Structure 1
Amino acid sequence: MPTGKIVKSLRELYYVQSGGSVFPCKGRGNFRKKKITPLVGDDVEFNIDENEEGYILEIHKRKNEFVRPPIANIDQAIIVASVVEPDFKPLLLDRFLVLIESKSLQPVIVFTKTDLLDDDKKQEIEKYKQAYEELGYQVVMGSSKIDHSLEEVSTFLEGKTSVIAGQSGVGKSSMLNALEPNLQLETNQISKSLGRGKHTTRHVELIEMYGGLVADTPGFSALEFQGLELDELPDCFPEMREFGEECKFRGCLHNKEPKCAVKQAVEDGDIPRFRYEDYLHFLHEIQNRKPRY
């Protein structure tokens, strides 16, 4: 039985790449009864019948998956954050980082539109860049023009399946077009009234690029921490994984507990205060979320 990977999902057709060819397939009839939904990125077994119609018969075990966007088996996430138009928001970037860390993925941060910064803003963004790099994150400074930063981004793609994350209008599709001009992905300008862009990608698709696969998706529309528990949140912050081992009490949430090494590290300047404030914001959000039944 042939095996392959789903590289595109459009309506109820799944396009399976196998042996250099792509086969349009439908899901097996009992998938719906078992509440199984094939996802782009799935490794599958499929069959082509005498009418040359393809059917996915089995989905191999996933190492990870996202609900929105619906995609599976990702190796890394490239988080695109513009520094202007829309303005940079550390809270939003940290929200993406928490979601990525919760899936045990390697994040790469790409700041876009840096050529549009004035001198004061440039210094501010440089401080954020340094802070994230000191936390162990890879950070690329990109401009709105094609430059050396694209070459730097391309080095992260080889041999990996990557997903592009970031709010609408930050330049995700523009970056992919610059990396692979033949794509000609649709892009839109920022809405001046809303301060954000429109979604231009309407389906999930894996694109071969620089020896790897890159997912062009409609974006991360579910940024709530619905599947994340309170005791899991500190593990999504690398600095808290490090300093949390020195806390007096096991299971310390680094909020109101005494002799908390994380809070002390914030006071000592070893943990950026903005990161700790974002952590508390997410902690309270999880504490106050309404249960889903």
Structure 2
Amino acid sequence: MPEGKIIKALSGFYYVFSGNETVQCRGRGVFRKNKITPLVGDEVVYQAENDKEGYILEVKDRKNELVRPPIANVDQAILVFSAVEPDFSTMLLDRFLVLVEFNHIKPIICITKMDLTNEEQNKQIQFFADNYRKAGYDVLLTSSETEIGIKELYPYLEGEISVFAGQSGVGKSSLLNALNPDLDIKTDDISSHLGRGKHTTRHVELIKVGNGLVADTPGFSSLEFMEIDAPDLNYCFPDIERKSEECKFRGCLHIAEPKCAVKAAVENDEIPSYRYEHYKTFLQEIKDRKPRY
């Protein structure tokens, strides 16, 4: 039986890329019975009735999957945040980073619209970028209009499956158009009434950029930590995790425990205080969450 990768899902059809062709497939009833929903990124076995249509028979084991956006087997997440319009938010970025780290997906921070910043805004973005680099993240500063940083992004995409994610209006589609002008993905302006971006991407699709595949997604519709337990949060902040190895007590949550190396690092400016405040906020959110049954 032929095998391939789902590169698009739309209206109950799954578009499977195999060799040099794409076959439009439906899922067999067994998937609904077993509550298995094929996802973009899935490696599948399919049966083709002809060179254009077929049925998915088997979904191979996944190395990871995201629920919102629905995609599987992602290598890395390009977290796209704008410097301005909408304004850069470290709280929102850290929330995205936690969700990506928890799913064992490599995050890359991409700050767009650098051409729109004034001197003070540019200085502030550079400050935050340096902080996140010290925490262990790759950070790129870009502009789709002037193509600042676009060439630097290409090597990250080579041979990888990447998901572009971020709040609406930050320029994900414009960034992809700058990477590959042939895509001509629809873009839209910031809604002046709502003060945030209008959604322009309606479905998940893997598209070829260079020698990699990238997904322009509708964005995370949920940023809640439904699957994360309190002890897990430590591992989703790499700068905090590294320092936690020096804590006196194993399993330290870095809140009220004595001789906590993380709290000492915050006091010594080794870990940015805003990162630690976000950690505490997220931890309380997880503790306040209703129990799962």
TM-score (norm 2): 0.97
Report if aligned partners of 2:143, 2:150 keep a CA contact under 8 Å in 1: no
CA RMSD of aligned residues (A): 1.3
Three-state SS of the structure 2 residue aligned to 1:204 is coil
**Structure 1 residue runs without a partner (length 5+):** none
Aligned residue for 2:60? 60
Which structure 2 residues correspond to residues 75-224 of structure 1 after superposition, within 5 A? 75-224=75-224
Q: Aligned partners of 1:144, 1:42: CA distance in 2, in Å?
A: 30
**Offset of residue 148 of structure 1:** 3.9
1:56-109 Cα offsets, whole Å, 9 max, x none, are 001110000000100000000000000110001100001111111111111111
3-state SS in 1 of match to 2:162: strand
The list of structure 1 runs, each at least 4 consecutive aligned residues, that deviate by more than 6 angstroms after superposition, is: none
Q: Does structure 1 retain, via aligned residues, the 8 Å contact 2:177–2:185?
A: yes
CA distance in 1, matches of 2:164, 2:144: 17
Matched residue SS, 1:5: strand
In 1, the alpha carbon distance for the partners of 2:148 and 2:120 equals: 23
Q: Do the aligned residues in 1 keep the contact of 2:147 with 2:178 (CA within 8 Å)?
A: no
- The residue number in structure 2 matching 1:250 is 250
Q: Do residues 33 (structure 1) and 33 (structure 2) align? A: yes
Letter in 1 for 2:146: I
Output the CA distance in 1 between the equivalents of 2:145 and 2:70: 31
Q: Give the aligned length.
A: 293
Contact 1:146–1:178 (Cα < 8 Å) also in 2 = no
Aligned to 1:238: 238
- What is the SS of the residue equivalent to 2:157? coil
Equivalent residue number for residue 272 of structure 2? 272
Q: Which amino acid aligns with 2:73?
A: N
The superposition leaves residues 155-180 of structure 1 with CA deviations (integer Å, 9 ceiling, x where unpaired) of: 11000000001000000000001111
Name the CA distance, whole Å, in 1 between partners of 2:31 and 2:22. 21
Measure how far apart 1:51 and its partner are. Answer: 9.8
Distance 2:283 2:226 in 1: 12
The answer to whether 1:49 aligns with 2:68 is: no
- Structure 2: how far apart are the matches of 1:161 and 1:25? 21
